[in-house]
């Protein structure tokens, strides 16, 4: 792909949806087709993204007590929403936008749809609200991200909470902040209604309970159909 206008493609889904795997596979396929590709993710590897990852893993501790080391430092949903938005804009400025100007296809594992999904569901008193209406939380998160570039295409990997949990267990590692099964089930339901959270964005749902290679073919076809690449 020669230098010119790049393409910005986002892959989304709950933890265990396969977004990281499918980002990697899509990058390989596009590369084989002759496109220059940048794969990246949010939280990013930048300074704010590194802080967010520490929060999600429970690595930041509160004050120590007489009983020993402190417990993981709590972060309100609104604080996390602010951190994610700050990381997103920094990531765009320093990594995504330069690659797009160079004519690359940028594949991003998660974007602001994650914030709209996760933070709106973990906000107090709004966990059971319908995403069919623009409630105050969703509007506030949109406002935080209003300077964020819109993707040329968002691919939502729809997967059942049970399949996603099995995948997380298979890969191992400690459970992160948002990986409770009950929350993940609600997140999966919300992703099914993703169009209501990012109205106007080009968005395609991919059935992602299937085997990896089957999902990869569906992802590649969706990109080809939507963007002609």
CATH of residue 103: 3.40.50.300
* Cα 46 → chain centroid: 16
Count helices and strands in the chain by DSSP H and E runs: 10, 5
Residue 189 placed within a domain:
yes
Q: Specify the number of domains making up the chain.
A: 1
Q: What is the pLDDT of residues 35-73, one digit of tens each?
A: 999 999 999 999 999 999 999 888 888 776 555 567 888
Classify each residue of 22-42 as buried b or exposed e, where b means 16 or more C-beta atoms within 10 Å of its C-beta: bbebbbebbeeeebbbbbbbb
Name the band, by pLDDT with cuts 50, 70 and 90, for residue 175. Answer: low
Q: Which pair of tokens denotes residue 89? A: 């804009």
Which range among 37-41, 131-135, 181-185 shows the weakest confidence by mean pLDDT? 131-135
What does each C-alpha distance from 207 to 121, 150, 173, 190, 199 come to in angstroms? 22, 23, 26, 15, 21
Residue 173 placed within a domain:
yes
CB 77 within 8 A of CB 56: no
pTM check: above 0.85:
yes
Query: Residue 130 sits in which domain range?
Result: 7-58+75-227
Residue 69 placed within a domain:
no
Q: Is the pLDDT of residue 125 over 70?
A: no
Q: Is the pLDDT of residue 198 over 80?
A: yes
Percent of the chain with pLDDT over 70: 87
pLDDT at 68: 56
For residue 149, which of 225, 90, 194, 191 has the smallest C-alpha distance?
90
Exposed/middle/buried for 206, CB within 10 Å: 0-12, 13-18, 19+?
A: buried
Q: Is the pLDDT of residue 109 over 70?
A: yes
Residue 63 placed within a domain:
no
Residue 67 placed within a domain:
no
* Distance, CA of 156 to CA of 192 (rounded, Å): 8
Exposed/middle/buried for 104, CB within 10 Å: 0-12, 13-18, 19+?
A: buried
Q: Is the pLDDT of residue 130 over 50?
A: no
Q: What is the mean pLDDT of the chain?
A: 89
* Distance, CA of 38 to CA of 80 (rounded, Å): 26
């Amino acid at each position: 792909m020669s230098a010119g206008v790049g393409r910005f493609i986002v892959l989304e889904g709950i933890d265990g949806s396969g977004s990281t795997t499918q980002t990697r596979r899509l990058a390989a396929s596009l590369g084989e087709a002759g496109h220059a590709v940048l794969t990246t993710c949010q939280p990013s590897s930048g300074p704010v993204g590194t802080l967010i990852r520490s929060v999600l893993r429970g690595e930041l501790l509160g004050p120590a007590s007489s009983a020993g080391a402190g417990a993981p430092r709590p972060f309100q949903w609104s604080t996390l929403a602010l951190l994610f938005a700050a990381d997103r804009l920094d990531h765009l400025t320093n990594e995504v936008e330069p690659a797009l100007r160079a004519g690359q296809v940028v594949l991003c594992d998660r974007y602001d749809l994650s914030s709209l999904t996760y933070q709106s569901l973990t906000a107090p008193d709004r966990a059971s609200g319908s995403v069919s209406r623009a409630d105050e939380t969703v509007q506030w998160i949109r406002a935080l991200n209003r300077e964020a570039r819109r993707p040329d295409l968002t691919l939502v990997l729809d997967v059942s909470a049970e399949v996603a949990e099995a995948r997380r267990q298979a890969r191992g590692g400690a459970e992160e902040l948002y990986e409770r099964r009950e929350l993940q089930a609600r997140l999966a339901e919300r992703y099914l209604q993703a169009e209501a959270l990012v109205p106007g964005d080009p968005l395609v749902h991919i059935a992602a309970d299937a085997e990896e290679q089957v999902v990869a073919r569906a992802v590649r076809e969706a990109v080809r159909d939507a963007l002609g690449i």
